[in-house]
Amino acid sequence: MSQNRSLEQGLEYFEKKEYEIAEAKFRMALDTQATGRIEIKFRLAFCLEMQEKFEEAESFYYQVGTSDGPPAIVGDALYRIAWMAMTLKDHAKAITYYKKAIAFLKESPSSRHIYKDCIYWMALSYEVMGRVIKALNIYEQIAIDDFWFWDVCYRKIKCFDKIGCYKDALVCCREFEARYRTASDVKRAKELYPGIKGIKEHLEELLRYNE
């Protein structure tokens, strides 16, 4: 088999999301390829992650994340380590790696979406750990565009409610509802952000009681 054939086949199976076969091909490619090894290792790690072979996936991501490769792929590898840690509910570790990923991704204009992902998920990790003020400070730093508005606003509502800042939480509720532009927006909000109407009513009742 030619030197590049294993890599070509690995990429084909990777695109088809046939990760077990792609994994085998990428391993073969690593045995023969003299160049592009960082990219191969990243894809191999992703194949392992998709098969929930988290320990081995982290090993390959770590090799990429500590390499002198392009900031985008190094940062993405660190992001994947953080994401796996979060999946396994190790939020302290997740925060550590989100911070490392952010340091690389902020230098890569092509990775702005992943950069925003890291900031959001890092804030959520702080929130889950009970560090609500820290989480709020990070949520406030996220530039809210149409894609991120719902998620960030919803998390801020929950955080303000937890620490007793009911007026701020209610303001966020109203901002949230103000984005209902179409029937599909209302449907999406109900499906992805359960209880938002009940939260608003709860806050209004608390504020009336405390007046």
Of 42, 60, 78, the one marking the end of a domain is 60
**Where is average pLDDT lowest: 45-54, 103-112, 200-209?**
200-209
Give the per-residue pLDDT at 121. 96
- Max CA distance (Å), the chain: 78
**Is 6 among the domain residues?**
yes
Please tell me the pTM assigned to this model: 0.87
Phi–psi pair at 156, nearest 5 degrees:
-65, -40
Q: Is the pLDDT of residue 73 over 70?
A: yes
Classify residue 89 by its DSSP letter. T
Min mean pLDDT across 17-31, 41-55, 155-169, 191-205 is at 191-205
Q: Which of 60, 82, 102 is the last residue of a domain?
A: 60
Residue 152 has pLDDT above 50, yes or no: yes
- Residue 76 in any domain: the answer is no
Q: Is residue 38 part of a domain?
A: yes
Distance between CA atoms of 185 and 176, rounded to whole angstroms? 11
Contacts of 45 (CB under 8 A, 6+ apart): 57, 58, 59, 60, 61, 64, 77, 80
Q: Containing domain of residue 148, as a range? A: 144-211
